[in-house]
Amino acid sequence: MAQTEFFRPGNLAAALDLLDQYREQAVIVNGGTDIVERIAHGGVRRAAIIYIHEIPELRGIGEGDGFVRIGGAVTYNDILASPLCCQFTALEQAVKEIGSPSIRVRGTPAGNLGTAVPAGDCCAAMMALDAEVVAASRQGERAIKLADLIIDYRRTALAANELIREIRIPVVPGGKTASAFLRLTSRKGQDIAQASAAVRLTLDGDVCRHAVIAMGSVSKVTVRAYSLEKAVAGKTVADAAEEIKAMVPAEVALRAADNPAFAARPTANIERQYKESVIGVIVARAMMTAYGKILAGEQ
């Protein structure tokens, strides 16, 4: 391809016009922490670079209709500075550990969701929080639940002319519900998760009435752990945690049949055994953290 053009649309409508015009020939640059090195190194070559990071309509955080609304170009640092966002402990905990301070200045949750890699910390947190994205195109908008957004490794249900205008997290009345995120990495800082879990727990007395559990880095995509959710329902938190510690959730998909790319890695066997033995513990610990938050009266 001979020519790449750079566009810095000043507002959302202009960005959507460009996206509609270039479609598959466009690459969106938001915070750029994942895509810029791929553009600069030639891994991604498109006719148009559409830079959306400074579009004012995408930079807001607000609340309305029962949701906390996070604009598509809001950065991780913006999230950490926002009490509205930090009411969701799982989100705060996930964002705090992403990359490094310099990454968090630029990187965005919307970019994390759009990139759709299994280790995306925001993907797991947002999934447990039952978030949805608002996909905008010139033709209009539609809301997509996170589980429907992420369809494969680095693939989303977004059309070529759509971008994530907003992420919406439903606000759940406090008191009996709280969330938490936990990940396992080989180093404290600057690492990606070997396994991660986000849990939103709702209590009925001392019993788990409902838990939403999402797992990262144990499949091609971020997955809901329905098997664990079923296993914990109706049990006391202590019993539930004890039980899931020893479980390998059915949604863990690291074998050749469902994940050939992972299975082809030279260390796949060892990695699989490791991930399978730790994921239950990670989920259980995240659940206990959420439980502690409920007892402490936090969200």
Partner 1 sequence: MTTASSAAAPLVAGTLIAEQASAQIATRTHQPVDLKLEVNGRRHRLAIDVRTSLLDALREHLAFTGTKKGCDLGQCGACTVLVGGRRVLSCLTLAVATRGPVTTIEGLTGSDDRLHPMQQAFIDHDAFQCGYCTPGQIMSAIGCVTEGHAESDADIREYMSGNLCRCAAYPNIVDAIKQAKPQMQEG
101 touches partner 1 (CB under 8 A)? yes
Q: Which of 26, 28, 61, 199 binds partner 1 (CB under 8 A)?
A: 61
| Listed ranges 54-62, 135-143, 178-186, 234-242: which one lies at the site for partner 1 (CB under 8 A) | 54-62
10 touches partner 1 (CB under 8 A)? yes
267 touches partner 1 (CB under 8 A)? no
51 touches partner 1 (CB under 8 A)? yes
Q: What DSSP string describes the chain?
A: ----EEE--SSHHHHHHHHHHHGGGEEEESS-TTHHHHHHTTSS--SEEEE-TT-GGGS-EEEETTEEEEETT--HHHHHT-HHHHTSHHHHHHHHTSS-HHHHHH--HHHHHHH--TT-HHHHHHHHTT-EEEEEETTEEEEEEHHHHEEETTEES--TT-EEEEEEEEPPPSSSEEEEEEEE-SSSSS---SEEEEEEEEEETTEEEEEEEEEESSSSS-EE-HHHHHHHTTSBHHHHHHHHHT---TT---STTT-HHHHTSTTHHHHHHHHHHHHHHHHHHHHHHHHHHHHTT--
238 touches partner 1 (CB under 8 A)? no
172 touches partner 1 (CB under 8 A)? no
For the CB of residue 246, give the shortest distance to partner 1 in the complex, in Å: 34
For the CB of residue 104, give the shortest distance to partner 1 in the complex, in Å: 9
37 touches partner 1 (CB under 8 A)? yes
Q: Which of 25, 80, 86, 105 binds partner 1 (CB under 8 A)?
A: 105
Q: Which of 24, 56, 145, 151 binds partner 1 (CB under 8 A)?
A: 56
For the CB of residue 166, give the shortest distance to partner 1 in the complex, in Å: 13
User: Under the rule (CB under 8 A), what is the footprint of partner 1?
Assistant: 3-11, 13-15, 17-18, 29, 32-33, 36-37, 39-42, 45, 49-51, 53-56, 59-61, 74, 78, 81-82, 99-103, 105-106, 188-190
